[in-house]
Amino acid sequence: MAEPVAIVRNVGTEDWVDAFNNDTIIIRVGDTHSFPERVAKHFLGDWDAPTEEDRKKELKRVTQRRPEGDPAKLELEKMVVSEGEKYDSKKKEPMPETILSQEVKPEFPDLKKKAKAKK
């Protein structure tokens, strides 16, 4: 399953400028931008936080990065997933019970054979 994509819109009165992984991101006033869900949660806060305490921590983290009253403001417009799939933020991919082994062929099999030196 592909990672959901968040569509966000700058609903502020100034361009929104921020960075993620050393890339500067600029969203003009009224424009939309798509981010992977994890990146959008970095900017907007985790909207799936399980408890009220976790949601308060996320709000505090986000407001420390972008203070209240900041004229540039992002808003989540919608979530998009692969065609034919419905978005379910609570659905998590189950971990496999066992990790499948992979056959590894030696890269240099001749190096394992030691030739006896002739005298």
Q: Which long-range CB contacts under 8 A does 12-17 form with residues at least 24 apart?
A: 12/70, 12/71, 12/72, 12/73, 12/74, 13/71, 13/72, 14/71, 14/72, 15/72, 16/72, 16/73, 16/74, 17/72
114 or 60: which leads in pLDDT = 60
Spatial contact of 17 and 25, defined as CB atoms under 8 Å apart: yes
33/8 Cα distance (integer angstroms): 5
Closest CA to 33 of 48, 15, 49: 15
Spatial contact of 49 and 58, defined as CB atoms under 8 Å apart: yes
| Domain spans in the chain, listed from the N-terminal domain onward | 5-80
Closest CA to 46 of 27, 63, 59: 59
* Mean pLDDT value across the chain: 75
Burial-class residue 6 by CB neighbours within 10 Å (0-12, 13-18, 19+). buried
pLDDT in tens, 24-72: 889 999 999 998 888 888 888 888 888 889 988 888 888 887 766 677 7
Task: Assess whether pLDDT exceeds 80 at residue 106.
Answer: no
